[in-house]
Structure 1
Amino acid sequence: MSSTPPYQAAVQRYDTLPYRRCGRSGLKLGAVSLGLWHNFGDVDRVDTMRETLRCAFDLGVTHFDLANNYGPPPGSAEEHVGALLKQDFSAHRDELILSTKAGYRMGPGPYGDGGSRKYLVASLDQSLRRMQVDHVDIFYHHRPDPDTPLEETMDALAHIVRSGRALYVGVSNYPPALLREAARLLRASGTPCLIHQPRYNLLDRQIEGGLLDALADEGVGCIAFSPLAQGLLTDRYLCEIPADSRAAKGVGFLRPTDLTPQRLRTIAALNRIALTRGQTLAQMALAWVLRHPGMTSVLIGASRPQQVRDAVAATATAQLGFDAQTLAAIEVALAGR
C-alpha cells in the first residue's frame, strides 16, 4: 500500500451529488452512499478497494457503511477500511459519515449476537479498534432481537452516544410498530433515532406497507439497502447468469432459483422502460427508490469504481423525475413478475 501515490481529493467533490436532510435531524447525506458488505473482505483486492473509496469520495459520496460481520471473514471489511482511511482520508475524517452495526452473530457464546447492552457496547468497541477511529458517526442495531427487551437495546444505543462512541444511532430491519416504539424510547432518552435502514427496491416493496409512513411520522430518515436487488436490477442478467455473478456464486440473498423465466421477463420489460429514459436499468432502479421524498439515500455496493460513477449519474435532477405514464408502465412490468 505504501507504493501508491498520495491521495489528493477532488476539489469539486461536492458539485455533483445532491444531499438530503436525514429525517428531522440536522444531518445531510448524499443521495448515494457506499455499502461495504461485499468487496472489502480478505478475499478481495486492496487496490480495488482503494480505487473505489477514492472514486466515491471524489464524487461526493461521503457515507461509508459497514457492520461488524462484513467481510468475509467477519470483521475484515472494517479492518481494510480502517487501514485505507488512515492512509488516504485522515485529513478528511470530518467530511466522512462512517457507520457500523451490530445485531447479527459475530462471535461464539451468548455475548456475540442479539441486542443486549453487553453485546452492542462490546461489539462497537471492537469495531472502533478495527477501523482505527475513536468514534463512528452512526451506529445501528442491525436487526430486532425478540429475546432482549427493547428498552435495554435502546438504552444501550443512548449510552453509546453519551459515551462518545457514536454521534447518532439508528436501526435496521425493524417493522413499523417496533420502529415507532424504538423511536419513542430513544426520543425519551434524549437521543433521537436518526435513521432506519430497510431493504427496498422495485422487486421488494414491503416498506410501502406502513414503514415509510412510520418514518415520516417519527421524523426518522431512511436509507435503502439492496436497491438493485443484489444486482438483479442491472443489465447483468438480461441474457444469462454470468459465472462471476452473485447469483451464480450464491452470495448474499440472490440465488439462481430467483431467476425464473417470469422474473427475467420482468427485468427485460423494466430495462426497456429505462432505455426510453436514457438510463441503464440500474440507474432507473436507483432513481425510482429515490423518488420518495422521505428517502434520504440509497446504499449501493460496488466492485469497481465505474459502478459508483454510474450510480451517481442516476441522481442528476433530470433523471430523478418520473411522470405518471412511466410509473404506470413500471407497475405493468412488475405485475408480470
Structure 2
Amino acid sequence: MKETLNDKKIEELEQIFVENGYPKFRAKQVFRQIHVNKVNDFNLMTDLPNDLRNKLSENYSIDRVRKLEVFESKIDQTKKYLLELDDKNIIEAVFMQYNDRKTICISSQVGCRMACKFCASTKNGLQRNMTASELIEEVYELERLNGNINNIVIMGIGEPLDNFSNIKRFLEIITDEKGRNLSHRSITLSTSGLCDKIYELANSNLDVNLAVSLHYAIDSKRQKFMPIAKKYSIKELIKACDYYLDKTKRRVSYEYVVIDGVNNTDEDLDSLTKLLKGKNAHINLIPLNPIKEFDHGKTKKKIINEFRDKLTKNGINATIRYSMGEDINASCGQLRNNYAR
C-alpha cells in the first residue's frame, strides 16, 4: 500500500523528500498544492517537473473523498453530502450558510460506538475511524464544491475524541499557517463526554472550541440514554470541562437536546441550574430531531422556548439552536452511514 502524503506535516514531507533524493524545497511546493490549492492529484501539480510528478504518483498517494450525491434543503440553504471514501464506505457531511458565513459539519468516524439512544449515527455501530488524511480531504472536497468555508464543526457521524490521534493530526495540519491556516477559533469539536480525552485535548495546545453533549443533568437519566455516562459521571465531566476552560481560556458550550417530558421537568431544571450556575458556560438548547429508532417526536417551539426562559430566569446563559436541513435529514442527530455499498 502506498504511503499517503496529505496527512503529513511540512517537516515530515521535507524529511521524505530528502531521504528519497528530491530537493527539499519541492516538499513545500507539494504541501502548498495540497493544502492551499486543494489539489489531490500529483499530475495536476504543474509547478513540479514531470519526472517528480511521475515518481510521486508511483510511490505515494493522496486519500480521496468523493461526492456521490447532494441533497438540498427547500427550507434553508443547507446541503447534505454523501461522500465516498477510498474503501467504498460512505459518510455524510453538511454545508450550512448563514448570510455570508459558511459552516461545514464533518464526520470523524465511519459509524459510532457511543450508542446514544436518540442519535441515528450510532445505529450501525462503529465500522472504523477516519484517518487524518480523509478528514482533511473531507474538508477540501466540501470547499471545492462551495468555496472556502469560515467554520468547521466536528459534529457529524462519530465521536471525535474516540478517534483522538487522527483528530489531533487533522487539527494540527488544517491550522498550519503555511497551509489552509484555519483559525483554532473557527473549529468546534463536539464530544459525548470522554473525560480522559478532554484532558488530553486541553493539554495539546489545540485550543479549539469544545461543545459537550450533556443532554441530561441527572446521572440516572443520562446513563439510560447515553451509555458513556456509565463510565463518567456528570460531576467528572464538569470537572474535565472546567479544566479545559482553565487551560485554554475557551468557554465550554453544553449541548442539550430538549425531549419534552423527559429532560425538561422541574427536577431537570433545578439540577441543570445547580450544575452550571456561576460557571462561565453556555447551554445550546436543541429541539429533538426525530429518528425512527427513538420513540419521541420533534420538540415543539413553545416547549423549548419555555425551558429557555426558565433557565435564563435562573441565571443560566442559554440560547436555542434551531435545526437546519430538517427536510433532508441533515439536522443534529440525523446523520447516518448506512449507505455503504
For the criterion TM > 0.5, the same-fold answer is no
Q: Which has the larger radius of gyration?
A: 2
Structure holding more strand per residue: 2
TM-score normalised over the length of structure 1: 0.44
In the superposition, the TM-score normalised over structure 2's length comes to 0.43
